[in-house]
Structure 1
Amino acid sequence: MSSDSTPARNWFDQGGSAYARFRPEYPPELAAFLASAAPDTGLAVDVGCGNGQLTQLLAPHFDTVVGLDPSADQIAHAAPNARITYRCAPAERLPLADGSASLITAAQAAHWFDLPAFYREVRRVGAPGAVLALVSYGVLRLEPALDERFQAFYRDGIGPCWPPERKLVDSGYATLDFPFQELSAPALQIRLDWRLPEFLGYLSTWSAVRNAREAGREDVLLGFADEISAAWGDGDTRRAIVWPINMRIGRL
């Protein structure tokens, strides 16, 4: 995309295709750690898998991987893999046999679940010693010259449009009930070098942006797009963006 493209158009690119194009990918080290914690490498299940970002990373480490998401649109945009089976299913009703899964993950999704119902299903489908990992990534950080503007937009501009569940993500799931034998996790992060259209495209996938549009507050979105575009400079310039990875991981 050329630097003279209108960045604001990316705010309106919604749906599974936007997630597939703009959602940041987890580092391979995350999947390697999760596989090392599991009791064996038979079956991994990624719940709320979206378009399969973490699901794909798990595939080299397990004999079979199942990706589950209630959205057919998200599943339709998942990249095929011989080791992965994708199915539409909610977190509260996992279409899996009892005691079959060695690893159960939920990446950037657990805050939407009915957790007591999900945990009941986890205990049902988990094999002895299976591992459950609730993974999230926190608020991104930009280069100092841009970060102050972004943090103000996140906190004050778009802040009122976030659903209440977003606070769970901001806390790194620290306040979630997690009734399992908890394990320690390594410090990991996502780091990308993005151009301006990619950065704004990522923001277009936020539920808060969708809520702002539905509330007729596109002025907030476009105002920030104009402001960050001016601060960014040439839209084709790549700038570092970092997300801290947070995790609650436990053994059944």
Structure 2
Amino acid sequence: MATIDLFSGHADLYAQYRIDYPPELYDFLLSLTGGRQQAWDCATGNGQVASVLSLYFAQVDATDISPQQLEKAVQKPNITYTVCPAEQTPFPDQSFDLITVAQALHWFDIDAFHREVRRVAKSGAVLAEWGYGNAQIDPVIDPVFYHFYEVIIGPYWDSKRKHVDQGYASIPFPFDKVVHQNFTIRRNWDLDRFLNYLRTWSSVQKYIRQHGSDPVLWMADQLKTVWGTSEREVRFPVFLRAGRV
């Protein structure tokens, strides 16, 4: 299966405007994880998850297929970044207490990734896979946003995006003691911050490449009056599944 990389071309934008995850999510993961020696954050992007894990684990290994993304990654003395695919890593057998993959699982060869997880995980280690759904703001803005997502940008999403919309329900998870948990990301953003977040989407970047114009400007025009100049709370629903290897 060919490796899919849809984010190298806008690593700068991704580093500035991609969202992070709530403390409650990490508290939940830590409650499941016994050992704190070594963690692997797979498809780390700019190291958003790895940087948090580094506060709790002696060593964090973070991987991504994009050198451009890793060039912008958060630097910590106990994080080691490696360019490699999720399905084939250089790590020794039985290395990790915790393995995480955030908002990236749907791009993988799932069976091959899970085989690699079984190889590099310690006995009883935890694998956590999660993603987040679409923004929720208010009853006036939300219909405009969903029109943008489904109609204007809809044709430019890779077909694998459907797995995020389905909360990974159709992706196998062949591990033990499986638990599911939901969280909410809450951010107070002005309109400019929200629009730049949209520009991190692979579908928006594909639209720009094909048409030479920025579709987010349509959103800016639609929302500039109703959003106003103040910040608004933007919420993202997070779905997580975890199990023991």
Deviates more, 1:180-189 or 1:123-132: 180-189
Matched, 1:251 2:244: yes
Q: Which residues of 2 match residues 203-242 of structure 1 at below 5 A?
A: 203-216=198-211, 218=213, 220-234=215-229, 237-242=230-235
CA RMSD of aligned residues (A): 1.5
Paired residue type of 2:243? G
29, 33, 40: which one pairs with 1:38? 33
Q: Which residue of 2 aligns with 1:174?
A: 169
| TM-score (normalizing by structure 2) | 0.92
Cα distance in 1, alignment partners of residues 57 and 224 from structure 2: 43
Matched, 1:65 2:60: yes
Alignment partner of 1:187: what SS? strand
Paired residue type of 1:240? E
Give CA-to-partner distance per residue, 1:67-112, whole Å, 9 cap, x none.
1111111111111112211111110111211001111111011111
Q: Return the offset for 1:183.
A: 2.4
Paired residue type of 1:95? P
Distance 1:78 1:220, change over 3 A: closer
Aligned partners of 1:32 and 1:61 also within 8 Å: no
71, 79, 88: which one pairs with 2:83? 88
Q: Which residue of 2 aligns with 1:55?
A: 50
Give CA-to-partner distance per residue, 1:219-240, whole Å, 9 cap, x none.
7432222112232222xx1111
Give CA-to-partner distance per residue, 1:14-40, whole Å, 9 cap, x none.
622211111111112212221221231
Aligned partners of 2:204 and 2:215 also within 8 Å: no
Aligned partners of 1:35 and 1:58 also within 8 Å: no
Cα distance in 2, alignment partners of residues 32 and 95 from structure 1: 29
Cα distance in 1, alignment partners of residues 10 and 216 from structure 2: 18
Alignment partner of 1:175: what SS? coil
Aligned partners of 2:42 and 2:101 also within 8 Å: yes
Matched, 1:163 2:158: yes
Matched, 1:97 2:92: yes
Matched, 1:23 2:23: no
| TM-score (normalizing by structure 1) | 0.89
Q: Return the offset for 1:215.
A: 2.2
Paired residue type of 1:233? G
Q: Which residue of 1 aligns with 2:138?
A: 143
Q: Give ranges in structure 1 of 5+ residues lacking alignment.
A: 1-13
Q: Return the offset for 1:185.
A: 3.6
Aligned partners of 1:38 and 1:102 also within 8 Å: yes
